[in-house]
Amino acid sequence: MKNSSLRALNSWSAVASVARNRFECVEQKANPKRRRRFALPAHCSTKRALNHSVVTRAVSTVLATLLSVFFLSCNTGDASLGATQSPLFTQAFGPAITVTGGPSNVVVGDMNKDGKPDLVVTSGQARTITVLLGAGGSDVRFRGTGGSALTVSDSPGEMVLGDVNGDTNLDVAFVTHDSYGVTILLGDGKGGLGLAANSPIVMKKGQHPHTHGLAIGDLNGDGKLDLSP
């Protein structure tokens, strides 16, 4: 495949060079009074000047060959077109995780500080946020925290995790599509969440909110987490 690509590229360079010289010849023959910026090629003659359509067809053929080689070589990442590509993921063992209320977004973090990843899931239709504690290891099962899902005032959208109040527990921040506010839910270190006293935080003023996306990080280098919707 690589040799074919090199041969096609060499053919393209040759045809392009010939086409350039032939067009110079044709142009000079058609406009003999036009001032020449360079010497007319020695081989330029009426009998040997190629027709414009012939050159165009030759260039189109070579270009089509190059495109074919390119797409075929990118088909599987190697020269073997019949190779079977291995799947990136496999189905985890166990039943699917069921969350009611129209689940839409999910983030992963250690919500109860046991060193195992947990899931935090938003349900836009029910306006709830659910924490599912992970068993860890090869066991991919998750369980609820024992209480009902936390109900919020607006339909939750994108969310992020971070320790926003410095108590070493992961907290949740989420935005709502139809609001400029960011809601903060403080974690208790056991998987539970509670609404922060100053929440929601209005990030800007406006009449037509259309909020998408939320990021968290120390943006000003003061050691405190900042939010950017």
Q: What percentage of residues in the chain have a pLDDT greater than 90?
A: 34
Instruction: Check residue 63 and give its pLDDT.
Output: 72
pLDDT at 210 over 50: yes
Q: Is the pLDDT at 131 greater than 80, yes or no?
A: yes
pLDDT of residue 202: 83
34 conformational bin, left if phi > 0, alpha if psi -120 to 50, beta if neither? beta
In this structure, the number of other CB atoms found within 10 A of the CB of residue 15 comes to 16
Contact status, residue 177 vs residue 210, Cβ threshold 8 Å: yes
Q: Is the pLDDT of residue 64 over 50?
A: yes
What H or E segment, with its residue span, contains residue 186?
Answer: strand 181-187
Whether the predicted pLDDT of 169 surpasses 90: yes
pLDDT of 145 reads: 67
Most confident by average pLDDT, 146-155, 204-213, 219-228: 219-228
pLDDT given at position 40: 47
Pick the more confident residue, 120 or 148: 120
SS3 23: helix
How many angstroms separate the CA atoms of 2 and 11, rounded?
14
| pLDDT tier for residue 186 given thresholds of 50, 70 and 90 | very high
The confidence score (pLDDT) of residue 86 equals 82
pLDDT at 89: 79
Tell me which DSSP letter residue 41 carries: P
Task: State whether residue 143 is helix, strand or coil.
Answer: strand
If pLDDT is split at 50, 70 and 90, which confidence band does 47 have? very low
**What is the C-alpha to C-alpha distance for residues 39 and 95, in angstroms, rounded to an integer?**
79
% of the chain residues with pLDDT over 70 = 62
> Could you give the CA distance from residue 202 to residue 120 in angstroms, rounded to a whole number?
23
